[in-house]
Amino acid sequence: MTVTAWLKARGVELGASLCTAGVLIAGLAVGVPFLRDRIPETFLYSFCCVSAVLLRAVLDLTVRGTLRVARTVYAAAPLSVPTLGPTRA
């Protein structure tokens, strides 16, 4: 996956989570009854919705970075052929 494709995918996820949080907060502001009855849960869900996307992006970048470092180190390591005992010349 290219960097541009990754950024687009995370951007769509972040936009969707911000939209969901915005709708919930706007529902509170307008006075939707079932949201007003659950004000703490509404704010918590809005926060968790956005945080989950950001946490997933951070974890994804961490895993990708670790794999890139591992591949670089593995590619730079010289290959050694193990011997099983004395060799005859």
Query: What is the pLDDT at residue 39?
Result: 87
pLDDT digits (tens, 9 = 90+) for 28-58: 899 888 888 888 888 899 899 899 999 999 9
- Would you say the C-alpha torsion 28, 34, 36, 40 has a positive or negative sign? negative
Q: Which two tokens stand for residue 50?
A: 């956005």
**Chain mean pLDDT for the chain:** 85
Query: What is the pLDDT at residue 63?
Result: 92
Confirm if 11 and 56 have CB atoms less than 8 A apart.
no
Confirm if 48 and 17 have CB atoms less than 8 A apart.
no
Confirm if 31 and 16 have CB atoms less than 8 A apart.
no
Q: How far apart are CA 45 and CA 60, in angstroms?
A: 22
Confirm if 49 and 55 have CB atoms less than 8 A apart.
no
pLDDT digits (tens, 9 = 90+) for 13-32: 999 999 999 999 999 899 88
Q: Does residue 10 surpass a pLDDT of 80? A: yes
pTM score above 0.85: no
Query: What is the pLDDT at residue 83?
Result: 66
Query: What is the pLDDT at residue 74?
Result: 77
Cβ neighbours around 37 below 10 Å, total: 9
